[in-house]
A and B are shown apart, each in its own frame.
Chain A
Amino acid sequence: MAKVVIKDSPYNLKKAKILDIKPLTEKEKLFKLVFEDKTWLDFEPGQFIMVSLMGIGEIPVSVCSSPLNRHYFEICVRAVGKVTNSLHKLNVGDIIGVRGPYGNGFPIKIIEGHDLLIIAGGLGLAPLRSLILYAIDNRRDFGEIHILFGCKTPGELLFEEEIEEWSKRLDIHFACTVDRADPDWKGNVGLITSLIPGVDLDPANTYAAVVGPPVMYKFVIKELLAKGLPVDQILLSFERHMKCGMGKCGRCQIQNLYCCKDGPVFTFKEIMDMAEAL
């Protein structure tokens, strides 16, 4: 057997250095990363990268910073298992492996010129933050911007400072809700679906971008359809088990679609007849 190094292997990694780590909640941390070779990550909002800890594993994670930021990129990671917990134990200055970006991302060129309704459940805000930051950076190219964010408890609120800032902006309509309040909570209580009827929108001219836990989609879509949104203007980003990120390992397949390659963002129209999608 001969063995050779294949630098052009699609599994090759780029080294990224952790510039900063910011705990957001008990379970989520925000990592600021930069490639060691000083190149920048050229990605679209909604795309993801494969993050590696050598000897431990590799996982798909959405990029959550603005694609226009050339100095660094960010990921927000919830500690749920092997790789994510190990990531949480790392320090500033540590090196991790990255490949990507993968997936299609949100079709921003199509969304531009329209109103944008962002619906984020819990950690779903991570990929949507990238889209929000992009829209803020290019504010004049979008119509009305509505952001709805829901999470289980006030303790699970992500990006609190930014949320604070978004809620103060005149050019953004922001609303937030928690499933269960605590005594200090002054805001809305209830499922995220309860916020949708109150949004004042022009359905024909609106694109909705929805990301959240799997149980959320069906209910949100129902509300959006009730609002009169066309099926091809409802954009959903799905989570599936992913190993390769490039349509080879078969793990992420939703019927005939590869979530990693054809998605993770799909229009409701593409998947509405697929039993395995929702």
Chain B
Amino acid sequence: MSKPKVAFFDFACCEGCQLQVANIGEPLLDVLDIVQVVEFREVMSEKWNGDFDVAFVEGSITDEHAVERIKKIRERSKILVALGSCATIGGVNGMKNSFDLEEVGKYVYGESYKFFPTLHTKAVHQVVPVDYFINGCPIYQPEFLTVLKCILQGIPYYVPEYPVCVECKLNENVCMYDRGVTCMGPVTKAGCNSWCINNGNICYGCRGLTINPNTEGFKEVLKNYKIPEDFLIRKIEMYNKCKEFDKS
């Protein structure tokens, strides 16, 4: 069997997630044993004109040009994977949606903003169907490998439907709330093995809201810990602003 052809593409993002893939370390050699990377701007200059078995797409969709481009990529690939928060949930780019688009245009491009039509930021699945989601800002390398294996096995990957606290407790961290700091763990999708907390940082919610979060209850918690409520709104908006498009 020939090795599956894999390509990486980026849209509006920092390319940090692709960097995470490129820097995955030792397992990268094993990965290259089983897949053929045909396009990956981060590490090679070649371009590929044929079809792909797997396309990893980083970044969110922010303008008409990007919409056309992602549609083409979708047509050319058997499996499409959204890589990183920008691609899976709109991520930080979604913050744009909190503002008037014209304002954003003016702010970024000055008076010439009219020549740069901009759309509301969208996550990839809000524009074309996505087969696999790898959350995180940046992505968590072990999860990338897990998803890759699922792709090769031809089985779905389910993003954990529970919050980061679950993994955090198994790692026996001292809870941030005990340290007197707030933490987005209770309302954020797990899958990163509570990476940030293990390293002494709070969870800032980069993987997006968990399914069925109790946001009202969470507001109460913040109140009891004397943390201003708009802190939460800002944190949630920081990554989840694009969520509103999922409903329509």
A85 at interface (Cβ–Cβ under 8 A)? yes
- How many residue pairs between the two chains, A and B, have CB atoms under 8 Å in the bound complex? 12
Q: Is the CB of B153 within 8 A of A56?
A: yes
Chain B: how many interface residues by the 8 Å CB criterion?
A: 5
A55 to B155, CA, bound (A): 10
In Å, the complex CA distance between A40 and B153 comes to: 31
Asked if B180 is at the interface (CB within 8 A of a chain A CB), the reply is no
Q: Is B142 an interface residue (CB 8 A)?
A: no
Q: Does A86 contact B (CB under 8 A)?
A: yes
Interface residues as binary, B140-173 with A (CB distance below 8 Å gives 1, 0 otherwise) = 0000000000000111101000000000000000
**A55–B153 contact, CB under 8 A?**
yes
Task: Scan residues 108-166 of chain B and give those whose CB is less than 8 A from a CB of chain A.
Answer: 153-156, 158
Is A183 an interface residue, CB under 8 A from the partner?
A: no
Q: Are A89 and B154 in contact (CB under 8 A)?
A: yes
Residues of B contacting A56 in the complex (Cβ-Cβ under 8 angstroms) = 153, 155
CA of A18 to CA of B154, assembled, Å: 21
**Closest B residue, CB atoms, query A81:** B156
A82 interface hit (Cβ, 8 Å): yes
**Cβ A86 vs Cβ B156 within 8 A:** no
Chain A residue nearest in CB terms to B155 = A82
Q: How far is the CB of B132 from chain A (nearest CB, A)?
A: 13
A86 to chain B, nearest CB (A): 6
Contacts of B155 in A (CB 8 A): 56, 82, 85-86
- Closest residue of chain A to B149, judged by CB? A55
A82 to B155, CA, bound (A): 6
Of B153, B154, B155, B156, most A-chain CB atoms within 10 Å: B155
Q: B154 contacts which chain A residues (CB < 8 A)? A: 86, 89
Kindly supply a per-residue 1/0 record for chain A positions 73-99, scoring 1 wherever the CB is within 8 Å of any chain B CB and 0 otherwise: 000000001100110010000000000
Chain A positions 27-82 with a Cβ under 8 Å from a chain B Cβ: 55-56, 81-82
Q: Which residue of B lies closest to A89 (CB)?
A: B154
Q: Which residues of B contact A89 (CB under 8 A)?
A: 154
- Complex CA distance for A89 and B154, rounded to whole angstroms: 10
A56 to B158, CA, bound (A): 12
* Chain A, residue nearest B150 (CB): A82
Listed residue (A56, A81, A82, A85) with the most chain B CB atoms within 10 angstroms of its CB: A82
Smallest Cβ distance from A157 to chain B, in angstroms?
28
Chain A residues numbered 87-127 whose CB sits less than 8 Å from any CB in chain B: 89
Note all chain B residues with C-beta closer than 8 A to A86. Answer: 153-155
Cα of A154 to Cα of B155 in the assembled complex, Å:
30
In whole angstroms, what is the CA distance A89 to B156 when docked? 14
B158 surroundings in chain A (CB, below 8 A): 82
Complex CA distance for A172 and B172, rounded to whole angstroms: 61
Complex alpha-carbon distance, A55 and B152, angstroms: 12
A119-143 toward B: CB 8 Å interface, digit per residue (1/0)?
A: 0000000000000000000000000
* Smallest Cβ-Cβ distance to A55: which chain B residue: B153
Residue of A nearest to B158 (CB): A82
B residues 56-113 near A (Cβ < 8 Å) are: none
Q: How far is the CA of A55 from the CA of B154 in the complex (A)?
A: 11
Residue on A with the closest CB to B156? A82
Instruction: Please report the C-alpha to C-alpha distance between residue A91 and residue B154 in the assembled complex, in whole angstroms.
Output: 16
Residues of A within 8 A of B156 (CB): 81-82
Q: In the bound complex, what is the Cα–Cα distance between A85 and B155 (angstroms)?
A: 8
- Residues in B with CB closer than 8 Å to A82 are 155-156, 158
Task: Please give the distance in Å from A94's CB to the nearest CB on chain B.
Answer: 15
Report the nearest A residue to B157, measured CB to CB.
A82
Least distance between A55 CB and chain B CB atoms (Å): 7
Tell me which residues across on chain B come within 8 A of A55, comparing CB atoms: 153
* A138-B153 Cα distance, complex, nearest whole Å: 44
Residue of B nearest to A57 (CB): B155
A266 to B154, CA, bound (A): 37
Interfacial residues of chain A within 214-272, with CB under 8 A of chain B in the complex: none
Contacts of A81 in B (CB 8 A): 156
In the complex, A56→B149 CA distance in Å?
Answer: 10
In angstroms, how far is the closest chain B Cβ from the Cβ of A106? 33
A234 CB, min distance to chain B CBs, angstroms = 34
Looking across the interface, which residue of chain B has its beta carbon closest to that of A82?
B155
Taking the nearest CB of chain B, how far is it from the CB of A175, in angstroms? 38
Shortest Cβ distance from residue A81 to the other chain B in the assembled complex, whole angstroms: 7
Q: How far is the CA of A56 from the CA of B154 in the complex (A)?
A: 10
Can you give 12 contacting A-B residue pairs, CB < 8 Å?
A55-B153, A56-B153, A56-B155, A81-B156, A82-B155, A82-B156, A82-B158, A85-B155, A86-B153, A86-B154, A86-B155, A89-B154
B-binding residues in A (CB < 8 A)? 55-56, 81-82, 85-86, 89
B residues near A (Cβ < 8 Å) are: 153-156, 158
- Beyond contacts A85-B155, A86-B155, A89-B154: 5 other A-B pairs, Cβ-Cβ < 8 A, are A55-B153, A56-B153, A81-B156, A82-B158, A86-B153
